[in-house]
């Protein structure tokens, strides 16, 4: 699925104009003048007199499934789409007497993610039990880290685009409150015909990282961009595949509205957001809903709402009457998790039993923000190009492969990739991986343009043909369609001469000073050459001949 | 033969004086004949005989696995045993057949031990009498001993055989009765607040509670995860050490086991008692302590002193709060551990199907007895957000104070503490049930449960018979991971006091079970 | 000599012997089955949750999915709460809560290997109700009816 390119002005209506009672203003870049009217919270604007301004506050709780072979506390396989209950250990099924044993890989993943998000990694963290009854929670409690999670106090920086183009003039930061390790629950499949629920525990016990983002965001677009950036980071680290459609990344949003300068409003929790696009939509809907509710004199309930994709709105989930109390208790079967750094590393340590934060930090893979910077430097492309390259799954690799195999300039290649290639993909709703044109083919085509074997318009034609994927190579198509540029200077001069001879009036006009007619003559020559002549050369020849 | 120690019978097996099959059959017969004790919930006759047969083959080839090969043992019914019903004496798990063996069970089986069956307990190990399980109460074999009967006649009590029987103590009463009545040579119990030491004292056995973290709890259906340990019940200290040696060690399946290497647990003879420092905690002179137990306690202290040991009074100032502290922490963990019993994946399931919650509630109502349900509710109360700090965290703080009391005492040069194990000898069942479970537990666990809170090793050693002819035992408590030293002292003490063997001759004779060995019980324990 | 002290303690009549004024006030209470509320100098006003309200009962029953069944159950809880109230008498200023005796140990880490094969038959075998290879639960988590809507509380 192609990821949407997020445009603040179009996708989200950003509500908070004017000051917000938040400390994060200092982190926001100064807005580009003239374009900020609809940008969220970037400017310190006075509320327009008479207008009843609203500010929205959005926080996120994100659950990312850890990419590991086995589960967080047991040795059963982390599988997707396995037959029901086929990768469930005795511990996952909560058989009495079974005990949790922590997976080292999950710890490492959490540390990597924490470091990438600029968190403080706690050298000592603890596990707790969170109690509630649900059919997909066999033990009647979830093991999580409530008191002392593995990482705290980080931040994530993301860039919003303004207007129609990708010009990341607004850099935002959202604070990461904490990252904690916890168990995933099983899956319930509701069978309404037989009035029963089928329980599959394959997912029960899979390791999750819960990333809590503070309510520093103010609209759907901001939240969506932040989540997108987190996705890119997780994928770059390899700690989670973070695919929302497959449930590897789940986002719950906490939304509230208030008048600028007044205290924060009651918040609702919005769940069941299965894609970045729905995430933005749901949040914006909920903001709007709350504003209207309050405008009409109603109250906002502290409740949980689900996003209904079909209706495009949030619906109140049937809430439990009476309050929920998770009765957190320390997990007695897991002693404290101790992490080390270069200084505190015990000398005779078993490497299997030791997780060294410094060692991990030194080997952290390149993060998206660094990648973008590197691309700009390496290829001389614009920053917004690098954003666009990373924003589409597989596009960066595609670009880099093309660059390796072509002699064309990066700037030219980027243009092709971001407008023509991407355009074709979007039109047909395809992912990069589904492209009928391989990077090698495109590389070849661009090389031919660069060496002036064919003209740009001809290349576009070839591209179209290649896309139809009829098995023909670039060379074959060019030959068939007779698209090669006429290189022969004499031949060209002859044709030009002929055209001039046939159109004495136009010649006269040019000699009288009408330059526009030159283009007409160029056009005629082009037609005469069946488009196989480079317009620039035609112009040169004609100009010479017209003197 | 059945009255021998582990070491002795193992030697007999090796020398061919008896075969594993014979031994197994004898034990199985005796189990049948002593069925009225209600010590066993499940007897695995076929399986046991098969194991015995395999053991026999190994002995014939001279390839015995070790000292436990061919030795009949029993396991408390809260340990998971693959393919064998494990009920915890609760309706909730009636019919539940675990697909795996607890690590301790596996270790015993790997050594060739013959598992005779699963023993009776209080439901989910909650209780101090082994009277509150769905399979009924366990009877103390001493109720039928010559020693007890004679004393009763002397005091002109009606020798009402059937209704006046005594409790075993609990919650590992089934295991205690099984060992005490010679149906097996060792049994596994569990100890959370004294559940192994208490019945050991009342049944005249050695009951060892090892250091927390020494033995794997994987497969032990938990009561209080932060205090439970598998317990070992045997007829002499050395047997307990042998079993400990097999069971101790890191288990990668249990994150609460110590990763450092442990052992060995062979017990040297304690030669220099003079180097020992015995501590007598003054706060353990609790109300309710019978004068007889006090006297024996005093006598024991005397004994140590007379052999040159330094015997000092020490103080464990927070002893009086240990019951309350235990009460809060125990019920809170119970509330949590019992949350998994909902009927969905295993165990009892009710017929209600209106909604998941209704189904869970009905299943739990039908599956748990009052004791369990009461503790779940209390525990949940203490874990409520508004109560958590006042009760649970407070209790955790008191726990630290209690544990620190012990640390201070051991740091002051004391090697081993000497205390009573129980308030008195075993009482008749009818008297016992007059009070409710929690009251009893709170009272009976007083000498034993602070040890669980501190995670220390402790052992009950039977000392002598009371004026009623019933066993009185004393408890020795050691430093964490000093189990070997503790047992060394215990072995010396055992040798000094020469606790008499239970005389169940009349019982045996009337059963007429043995073809060859009629006069069992008068064999004294040889070294 | 320890002997004299022990005998003295025994003769003194079974007091727990804890030091301090506070402890003396509690002397008679150890091990007894009387659960009087705390009244020592350290009491901080009425005990939280001292009385078991109907609201609390319902709240606990819902959270624990275990019912009190009858008045005896409620009385039991009341007694348990009062009993636990005795903890307030202990001075725990500056004491760090002890979660487990293992607090100085490090958590054992397992390698990320798949060591458990599919054991679906073994798992399903113990369940009373399965459909194909799924466990079966009733529909949804519909909340239990309120107390008033249930059957009246029965005497034991």
A193 and A87 assigned to the same domain = yes
Q: What pLDDT is recorded for position A41?
A: 44
Contact residues on chain A for C112, CB-CB shorter than 8 A: 68-70, 103-106
Give the Cα separation of B240 and B238 in Å (integer). 5
What's the average model confidence in pLDDT over A195-200? 90
| Record: contact C63-A352, CB cut-off 8 A | no
Q: What pLDDT is recorded for position A340?
A: 93
Which residue from A131, A133, A335 is facing B357, i.e. has the nearest CB?
A133
Q: Burial level of B376, CB count in 10 A (0-12/13-18/19+)?
A: buried
Q: Is A452 a domain residue?
A: yes
Q: What are phi and psi of B4, to 5 degrees?
A: -70, 165
| Record: contact A328-B388, CB cut-off 8 A | yes
Which residues of chain A from 68 to 87 reach within 8 Å of chain C, CB to CB?
A: 68-70, 74-77, 83-87
The larger pLDDT score, comparing residue C156 to residue A298, is at: A298
State both tokens at B92: 């909730």
Candidate ranges A44-58, A257-271, B84-98; pick with highest mean pLDDT: B84-98
What's the average model confidence in pLDDT over A344-360? 88
Q: What pLDDT is recorded for position A166?
A: 52
pLDDT digits (tens, 9 = 90+) for A212-252: 999 999 999 999 999 999 999 999 999 999 999 999 999 99
A178 and A321 assigned to the same domain = yes
What's the average model confidence in pLDDT over C40-52? 44
A227 and A139 assigned to the same domain = yes
A303 neighbors A235 (Cβ within 8 angstroms): no
Q: How many CB pairs under 8 A join A and B?
A: 104
Q: How many CB pairs under 8 A join A and C?
A: 137
Q: Is A287 a domain residue?
A: yes
The larger pLDDT score, comparing residue B457 to residue C70, is at: B457
* Adjacent-strand bridge partners of A180: A210
Contact residues on chain A for B357, CB-CB shorter than 8 A: 133
Q: Is A359 a domain residue?
A: no
- Which subunits count as partners of chain A given 3+ CB pairs below 8 Å? B, C
Q: How many domains does chain A have?
A: 3
| Record: contact A197-C139, CB cut-off 8 A | yes
User: What percent of chain B is modeled with pLDDT above 70?
Assistant: 94
Task: Measure in Å the smallest separation between the Cα of A330 and chain C Cα atoms.
Answer: 7
- Which subunits count as partners of chain C given 3+ CB pairs below 8 Å? A, B
Query: Closest-CA residue in chain B for A350?
Result: B259
Final residue belonging to a domain, choices A480, A506, A527: A480
A46 and A133 assigned to the same domain = yes
Give the Cα separation of A154 and A165 in Å (integer). 30
Query: Residue A51 — very low, low, confident or very high, per pLDDT cuts 50/70/90?
Result: very low
pLDDT digits (tens, 9 = 90+) for C71-130: 888 888 999 999 999 999 999 999 999 988 888 877 899 999 998 888 888 999 999 899
Contact residues on chain C for A352, CB-CB shorter than 8 A: 109, 111
Query: Residue B504 — very low, low, confident or very high, per pLDDT cuts 50/70/90?
Result: confident
Q: Is A191 a domain residue?
A: yes
Q: Which helix (H) or strand (E) holds B188?
A: strand B186-191
pLDDT digits (tens, 9 = 90+) for B337-379: 999 998 889 999 988 888 888 888 889 888 998 889 989 999 9
A441 and A496 assigned to the same domain = no
Contact residues on chain C for A102, CB-CB shorter than 8 A: 107-110
Query: Closest-CA residue in chain B for A136?
Result: B344
Final residue belonging to a domain, choices A480, A500, A526: A480
- Which subunits count as partners of chain B given 3+ CB pairs below 8 Å? A, C
Delimit the domains of chain C by residue range. 45-90
A415 and A530 assigned to the same domain = no
Give the Cα separation of A524 and A504 in Å (integer). 13
Contact residues on chain C for A84, CB-CB shorter than 8 A: 120, 132-134
Query: Residue C8 — very low, low, confident or very high, per pLDDT cuts 50/70/90?
Result: very low
For β-strands B277-281 and B416-420, DSSP reports them as parallel
Which amino acids of B are annotated catalytic? Answer: 76, 171, 195
* Adjacent-strand bridge partners of B208: B232, B459
Q: Would you tell me how many other CB atoms lie within 10 Å of the CB of residue B94?
A: 17
| Record: contact B385-A325, CB cut-off 8 A | yes
Residue of C60, C61, C102, C109 to mutate when probing chain A, most A C-beta within 10 A = C109
pLDDT digits (tens, 9 = 90+) for B290-312: 999 999 999 999 999 999 999 99
Q: What is the DSSP annotation of A8-32?
A: HHHH----B-S--S-GGGGGSPPPP
- State the CATH number of the domain containing residue A500: 1.10.10
Q: Burial level of C135, CB count in 10 A (0-12/13-18/19+)?
A: buried
Q: What pLDDT is recorded for position C145?
A: 61
Task: Measure in Å the smallest separation between the Cα of C130 and chain A Cα atoms.
Answer: 8
Task: Measure in Å the smallest separation between the Cα of B78 and chain A Cα atoms.
Answer: 9
Go through chain A and tell me how many residues it has: 547
The pTM score is: 0.84
B138 neighbors B120 (Cβ within 8 angstroms): yes
| Record: contact B255-A139, CB cut-off 8 A | no
Integer angstrom CA distances of residue A82 from A76, A208, A238, C134: 12, 19, 22, 13
Residue of C66, C137, C146 to mutate when probing chain B, most B C-beta within 10 A = C66
Cβ partners under 8 Å of residue B252, min gap 6: A101, C108, C110
pLDDT digits (tens, 9 = 90+) for B133-184: 999 999 999 999 999 988 888 776 665 556 789 999 989 999 999 999 999 9
What's the average model confidence in pLDDT over B193-216? 97
Provide the mean pLDDT of chain A.
84
Delimit the domains of chain B by residue range. 6-127+141-321+397-511
Our measurement of the distance from residue A213's CA atom to the centroid of its chain's CA atoms, rounded to an integer in Å, reads 17
Q: Is A106 on the interface with C (CB under 8 A)?
A: yes
Query: Closest-CA residue in chain A for B251?
Result: A101
Query: Closest-CA residue in chain C for B287?
Result: C14
Task: Measure in Å the smallest separation between the Cα of C79 and chain A Cα atoms.
Answer: 21
pLDDT digits (tens, 9 = 90+) for B218-274: 999 999 999 999 999 999 999 999 999 999 999 999 999 998 888 789 998 888 899
Query: Residue C1 — very low, low, confident or very high, per pLDDT cuts 50/70/90?
Result: very low
The parent domain of residue A24 ranges over 8-330
Q: What are phi and psi of A170, to 5 degrees?
A: -115, 105
Residue of A327, A333, A354 to mutate when probing chain B, most B C-beta within 10 A = A327
Give the Cα separation of B191 and B379 in Å (integer). 20
| Record: contact A96-B222, CB cut-off 8 A | yes
Which residue from C58, C116, C134 is facing A76, i.e. has the nearest CB?
C116
Least confident of A121-135, B181-195, B499-513, C21-35: C21-35
Final residue belonging to a domain, choices A451, A480, A509: A480
Contact residues on chain A for C116, CB-CB shorter than 8 A: 70, 74-77, 87, 89-90
Contact residues on chain A for C124, CB-CB shorter than 8 A: 85
pLDDT digits (tens, 9 = 90+) for A82-93: 999 999 999 999
Integer angstrom CA distances of residue B108 from A420, B211, B218: 72, 19, 14
| Record: contact C18-B320, CB cut-off 8 A | yes
| Record: contact A334-C110, CB cut-off 8 A | no
Cβ partners under 8 Å of residue A417, min gap 6: A389, A395, A398, A399, A402, A442
In CATH terms, is domain B6-127+141-321+397-511 a member of 3.40.50.720?
Answer: no
């Amino acid at each position: 699925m192609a990821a949407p390119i997020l445009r603040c002005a179009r996708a989200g209506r950003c509500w908070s104009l004017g000051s917000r009672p938040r400390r994060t203003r200092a982190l926001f870049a100064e807005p580009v003048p003239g374009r900020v009217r609809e940008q969220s919270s970037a400017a310190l604007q006075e509320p327009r007199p008479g207008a009843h301004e609203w500010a929205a506050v959005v926080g996120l709780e994100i659950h990312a499934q850890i990419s590991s072979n086995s589960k967080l506390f047991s040795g059963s396989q982390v599988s997707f789409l396995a037959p029901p209950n086929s990768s469930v250990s005795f511990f996952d099924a909560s058989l009495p007497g079974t005990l949790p044993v922590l997976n080292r890989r999950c710890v490492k993943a959490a540390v990597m993610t924490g470091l990438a998000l600029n968190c403080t990694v706690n050298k000592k963290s603890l596990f707790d039990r969170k109690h509630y009854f649900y059919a997909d929670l066999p033990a009647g409690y979830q093991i999580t880290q409530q008191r002392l999670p593995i990482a705290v106090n980080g931040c994530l920086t993301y860039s919003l685009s303004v207007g129609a183009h990708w010009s990341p003039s607004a850099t935002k930061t959202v604070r990461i409150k904490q990252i904690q390790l916890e168990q995933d629950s099983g899956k319930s499949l509701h069978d309404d015909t037989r009035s029963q629920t089928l329980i599959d525990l394959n997912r029960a016990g899979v390791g999750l990282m819960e990333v809590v983002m503070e309510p520093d965001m103010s609209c759907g677009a901001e939240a969506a961009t932040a989540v997108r950036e987190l996705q890119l980071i997780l994928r770059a680290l390899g700690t989670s595949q973070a695919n929302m459609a497959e449930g590897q990344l789940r986002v719950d949003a906490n939304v509230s509205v208030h008048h600028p300068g007044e205290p924060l409003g009651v918040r609702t929790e919005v769940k069941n957001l299965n894609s970045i696009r729905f995430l933005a939509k749901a949040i914006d809907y909920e903001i709007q809903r709350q504003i209207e509710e309050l405008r009409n004199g109603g109250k906002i309930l502290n409740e949980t709402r689900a996003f209904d994709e079909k209706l495009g709105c949030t619906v109140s989930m049937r809430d439990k009457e009476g309050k929920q109390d998770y009765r957190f208790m320390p997990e007695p079967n897991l002693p404290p998790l101790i992490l080390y750094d270069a200084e505190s590393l015990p000398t005779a340590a078993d490497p299997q039993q030791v997780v060294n934060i410094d060692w991990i930090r030194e080997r952290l893979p390149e993060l998206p923000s660094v990648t973008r910077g590197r691309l700009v430097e390496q290829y001389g492309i614009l920053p917004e190009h690098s954003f666009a390259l990373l924003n589409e799954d597989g596009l960066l690799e595609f670009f880099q492969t093309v660059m390796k195999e072509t002699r064309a300039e990066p700037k030219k290649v980027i243009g092709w990739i971001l407008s023509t290639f991407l355009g074709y993909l979007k039109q047909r709703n395809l992912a990069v991986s589904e492209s009928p044109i391989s990077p090698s083919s495109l590389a070849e085509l661009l090389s031919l343009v660069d060496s002036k074997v064919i003209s740009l318009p001809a290349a576009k034609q070839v591209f179209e043909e290649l896309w139809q994927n009829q098995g023909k190579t670039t060379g074959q198509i060019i030959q068939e369609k007779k698209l090669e540029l006429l290189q022969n200077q004499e031949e060209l001069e002859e044709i030009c001469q002929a055209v001039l001879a046939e159109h004495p009036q136009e010649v006269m006009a040019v000699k009288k000073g009408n330059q526009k007619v030159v283009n007409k003559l160029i056009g005629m020559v082009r037609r005469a050459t069946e488009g196989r002549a480079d317009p620039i050369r035609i112009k040169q020849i004609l100009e010479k001949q017209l003197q | 033969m059945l009255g021998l120690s582990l070491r002795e019978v193992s030697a007999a097996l090796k020398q061919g004086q008896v075969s594993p099959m014979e031994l197994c059959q004898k034990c199985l017969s005796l189990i049948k004949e002593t069925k009225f004790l209600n010590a066993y919930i499940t007897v695995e006759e076929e399986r046991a005989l098969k194991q015995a047969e395999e053991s026999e083959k190994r002995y014939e080839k001279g390839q015995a696995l070790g000292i436990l090969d061919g030795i009949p043992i029993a396991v408390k019914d809260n340990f998971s045993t693959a393919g064998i019903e494990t009920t915890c004496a609760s309706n909730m798990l009636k019919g539940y057949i675990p697909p795996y063996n607890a690590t301790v069970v596996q270790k015993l089986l790997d050594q060739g031990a013959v598992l005779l069956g699963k023993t009776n307990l209080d439901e989910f190990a909650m209780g101090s009498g082994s009277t509150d399980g769905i399979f009924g109460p366990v009877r103390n074999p001493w109720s039928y001993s010559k020693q007890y009967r004679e004393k009763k006649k002397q005091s002109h009590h009606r020798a009402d055989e059937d209704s006046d029987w005594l409790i075993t103590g609990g919650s590992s009463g089934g295991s205690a009765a099984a060992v005490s009545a010679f149906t097996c040579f060792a049994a596994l119990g569990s100890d959370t607040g004294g559940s192994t030491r208490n019945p050991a004292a009342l049944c005249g056995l050695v009951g060892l509670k090892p250091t927390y973290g020494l033995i794997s709890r994987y497969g032990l259906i938990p009561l209080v995860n932060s205090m439970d340990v598998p317990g070992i019940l045997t007829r002499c200290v050395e047997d307990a050490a042998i079993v400990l040696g097999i069971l101790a060690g890191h288990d990668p399946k249990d994150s609460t086991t110590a990763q450092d290497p442990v052992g060995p647990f062979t017990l040297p003879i304690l030669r220099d008692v003079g180097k020992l420092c015995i501590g007598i905690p003054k706060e353990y002179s609790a109300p309710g302590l019978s004068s007889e137990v006090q006297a024996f306690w005093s006598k024991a202290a005397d004994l140590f002193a007379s052999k040159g040991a330094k015997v000092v009074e020490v103080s464990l100032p927070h002893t009086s709060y240990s019951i309350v502290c235990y009460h809060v922490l125990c019920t809170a963990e119970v509330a949590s551990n019992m949350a998994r019993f909902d009927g969905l994946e295993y165990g009892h399931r009710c017929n209600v199907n209106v909604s998941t919650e209704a189904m869970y509630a009905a299943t739990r109502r039908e599956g748990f007895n009052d004791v369990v349900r009461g503790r779940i509710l209390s525990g949940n109360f203490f874990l409520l957000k508004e109560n958590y700090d006042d009760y649970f965290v407070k209790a955790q703080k008191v726990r630290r104070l209690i544990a620190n009391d012990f640390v201070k005492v051991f740091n002051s040069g004391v090697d081993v503490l000497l205390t009573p194990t129980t308030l008195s000898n075993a009482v008749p069942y009818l008297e016992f049930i007059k009070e409710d479970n929690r009251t009893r537990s709170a009272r009976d666990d007083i000498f034993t449960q602070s040890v669980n809170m501190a995670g220390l090793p402790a052992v009950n050693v039977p000392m002598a018979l009371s004026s009623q002819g019933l066993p009185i035992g004393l408890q020795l408590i050691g430093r964490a991971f000093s189990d070997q030293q503790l047992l060394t002292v215990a072995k010396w003490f055992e040798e000094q006091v020469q606790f008499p063997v239970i005389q169940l001759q009349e019982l045996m004779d009337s059963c007429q079970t043995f073809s060859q060995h009629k006069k069992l019980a008068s064999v004294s324990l040889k070294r | 000599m320890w002997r004299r002290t022990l005998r003295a303690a025994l003769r003194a009549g079974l007091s727990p012997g804890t030091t301090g004024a506070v402890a003396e006030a509690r002397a008679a209470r150890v091990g007894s089955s009387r659960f009087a509320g705390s009244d020592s100098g350290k009491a901080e006003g009425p005990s939280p949750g001292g009385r078991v309200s109907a609201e609390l009962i319902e709240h606990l029953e819902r959270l624990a999915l275990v019912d009190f069944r009858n008045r005896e159950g409620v009385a039991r809880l009341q007694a348990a709460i009062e009993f636990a109230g005795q903890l307030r008498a202990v001075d725990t200023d500056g004491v760090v809560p002890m979660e487990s005796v293992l607090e100085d140990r490090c958590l054992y880490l397992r390698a990320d290997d798949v060591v458990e094969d599919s054991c679906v038959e073994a798992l399903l075998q113990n369940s009373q109700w399965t459909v194909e290879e799924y466990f079966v639960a009733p529909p949804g988590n519909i909340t239990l009816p309120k107390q008033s809507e249930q059957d009246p509380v029965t005497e034991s």
